[in-house]
Amino acid sequence: MIPYNALTPAFREWKELSYEEHIRQMTPSLLHWYNQERRILPWRENPVPYYVWISEIMLQQTRVEAVKSYFVRFIDALPDIAALAAVEEETLLKLWEGLGYYNRARNLKKAAQIVVEQYGGELPADETKLRALPGIGSYTAGAIASIAFGLPVPAVDGNVLRVLSRLWADDEDIGKQSVKRRTENLLRKAMPEEAASSFNQAMMEIGAVVCLPNGLPQCEVCPLAPFCRSKSLGTQLSFPVKKTKKARRIEERTILLLIRDSSLERQVALRKRKNSGLLAGMYEFPNLDGSLSRKDVATYLKQQGIHFTHLKKIEDAKHIFSHIEWHMTGYEVMVEGYGKEQEGILFVELAQLCGEYPVPSAFAAYKKRLVQYLEQEKFEEKALSNSL
């Protein structure tokens, strides 16, 4: 923490304020800005507890703009907690497809089942009870409690930690749980009880659209600039402090698009992953360890008794998980037959691939290629129909 006696004259009127009083002093400016500038979001305009819960889980690790369409689709399919509790897992994962971190979706269903059994299908207006539900931590419990029920409970996420780190010129590592707990305790004492929902959302909003990460704070439009110690000192780019993450482990994979023509329409091979570990229970295109050459792939296919008429190298792709990075080499294979070893393979029509089977976004580039096949087939079918 930079000593108060190092502060510029702009701070001398309030340089001795405690953190709590600092928050109280800035709150009117923060709330006024939020009321004028807040984004219109589908879950924000009708903040029923279920909508707040679903949106907050979706927003973890995902941008707001990307979440909007997922949220609307999810709510259309599962309009209430009872529907979520009863949904089949494959349907749930299909609705979640592309958001990643699929255990979040599974925890939603587990929590919904508990809510139906213990609370009559309505989320409890109680922070402790919310935190006891699967997949709900302190931040999500605080968001639901404050936004949906108006309770004065802090909701401290990365955005809030970044904003306060800059406001206070605080050089503590915001990745530490002790720093998060300290911040939650401070906000619990200082946040306005009568405007808890707006306060929490305003803090998140400032971090999302103004006090941006990666050294890009837009101080010229920030309503908190007059209260910001790092702004006065010219040290905004030094905050927040966060320990450098370990480098992700690189894994090389070879992806096989095994395609065959049936009597109805073109089909592609899928297989279901194990029910534990990375991408548990999801469907994937058959793939192999390592980055294999065309010759290596041909040898593998022959060894497995897979008869093919076409083997083509296609585009490479990359996907980043939290701790792993996949570097993928792709091959398109037109096949005619299979050996007994291929019993785990499931062939689905391309339309089914898009509409029924949850395939994680790690394979997005290859799924896109198959979707182009489907669109081409529809075009050719339409052209043939028009010629008759």
Q: 113-122 pLDDT, tens per residue?
A: 999 999 999 9
Residue 203 near residue 159 (C-beta atoms within 8 A): yes
The b/e string for 325-355 (b: 16+ C-beta within 10 A; e otherwise) is ebebbbbbbebeebeeebeeeeebbbeebbe
Is 56 one of the annotated active-site residues of the chain? yes
- Average pLDDT score over residue span 237-256: 92
Is residue 160 located within the same domain as residue 121?
A: yes
Q: What is the largest CA-CA distance in the chain?
A: 86
Is residue 326 located within the same domain as residue 192?
A: no
Query: Is residue 244 domain-resident?
Result: no
Is residue 70 located within the same domain as residue 141?
A: yes
Residue 155 near residue 204 (C-beta atoms within 8 A): yes
Higher pLDDT, 339 or 134: 134
3 band by pLDDT with thresholds 50, 70 and 90: very low
Higher pLDDT, 322 or 4: 322
Using CA atoms, how far residue 76 sits from 65, 83, 91, in Å, is 18, 11, 13
Is residue 56 located within the same domain as residue 180?
A: yes
Query: Is residue 261 domain-resident?
Result: yes
Is residue 307 located within the same domain as residue 214?
A: no
Query: Is residue 138 domain-resident?
Result: yes
The C-alpha atoms of residue 230 and residue 238 are separated, in whole angstroms, by 8
Query: Is residue 187 domain-resident?
Result: yes
Q: Characterize the bridge pairing of strands 211-212 and 287-289.
A: unpaired
* Element (DSSP H or E) covering residue 258: strand 249-261
Query: Is residue 271 domain-resident?
Result: yes
- Which of 175, 204, 238 is where one domain is finished? 238
- Which of 238, 268, 285 is where one domain is finished? 238
Locus of tokens 């590592």 = 173
Residue 269 near residue 346 (C-beta atoms within 8 A): yes
Locus of tokens 């109680």 = 126
- Average pLDDT score over residue span 295-301: 96
Is residue 61 located within the same domain as residue 155?
A: yes
Which CATH number covers residue 310? 3.90.79.10
Of residues 82, 75, 66, the one with CA closest to residue 43: 75
What is the model's pTM?
Answer: 0.85
pLDDT at residue 82 above 50? yes
Which CATH number covers residue 221? 1.10.340.30
Query: Is residue 179 domain-resident?
Result: yes
Three-state DSSP state, 325: strand
Query: Is residue 9 domain-resident?
Result: yes
The C-alpha atoms of residue 345 and residue 212 are separated, in whole angstroms, by 46
Active-site annotation holder among 13, 16, 56, 356: 56
344 band by pLDDT with thresholds 50, 70 and 90: confident
pLDDT at residue 373 above 90? no
**The two structure tokens encoding residue 214:** 């990666």
Q: How much is the pLDDT for 7?
A: 38
Q: How much is the pLDDT for 382?
A: 46
The C-alpha atoms of residue 276 and residue 255 are separated, in whole angstroms, by 21
**Ramachandran region, residue 281 (left: φ > 0; alpha: ψ -120 to 50; beta: rest):** left
Is residue 218 located within the same domain as residue 296?
A: no
Lowest mean pLDDT among 20-34, 64-78, 224-238, 334-348: 334-348
Of residues 90, 87, 152, 84, the one with CA closest to residue 123: 84
Of residues 67, 50, 66, 69, the one with CA closest to residue 58: 67
Query: Is residue 243 domain-resident?
Result: no
Question: What is the gyration radius of the CA atoms in the chain, in angstroms?
Answer: 26
pLDDT at residue 376 above 80? no
Dihedral of CA 275/280/285/289: which sign?
A: negative
The C-alpha atoms of residue 318 and residue 308 are separated, in whole angstroms, by 26
When divided into structural domains, the chain yields a total of: 2
Q: How much is the pLDDT for 377?
A: 56
The C-alpha atoms of residue 146 and residue 130 are separated, in whole angstroms, by 12
**The two structure tokens encoding residue 101:** 């971190």
Q: How much is the pLDDT for 10?
A: 43
Q: Characterize the bridge pairing of strands 211-212 and 346-349.
A: unpaired
The C-alpha atoms of residue 304 and residue 302 are separated, in whole angstroms, by 5
Q: How much is the pLDDT for 214?
A: 85
Q: How much is the pLDDT for 379?
A: 39
pLDDT at residue 385 above 80? no
Q: How much is the pLDDT for 136?
A: 98
Structural domain harbouring 100: 4-238
**The two structure tokens encoding residue 56:** 């907050």
Is residue 280 located within the same domain as residue 377?
A: yes
378 band by pLDDT with thresholds 50, 70 and 90: low
Q: How much is the pLDDT for 388?
A: 41
Mean pLDDT for all residues in the chain: 89
Residue 50 near residue 81 (C-beta atoms within 8 A): yes
Strand partners, 335: 308
Of residues 367, 258, 267, 276, the one with CA closest to residue 319: 367
8 band by pLDDT with thresholds 50, 70 and 90: very low
> What type of residue is 241?
V
- Which of 206, 238, 270 is where one domain is finished? 238
Q: How much is the pLDDT for 61?
A: 84
Is residue 41 located within the same domain as residue 160?
A: yes
Is residue 364 located within the same domain as residue 325?
A: yes
Higher pLDDT, 128 or 379: 128
Is residue 231 located within the same domain as residue 254?
A: no
Q: How much is the pLDDT for 339?
A: 52
Q: Which residue stretches of 120-257 are H helix?
A: 127-131, 138-143, 149, 158-167, 177-190, 196-209, 229-233
Residue 15 near residue 4 (C-beta atoms within 8 A): yes
Is residue 162 located within the same domain as residue 269?
A: no
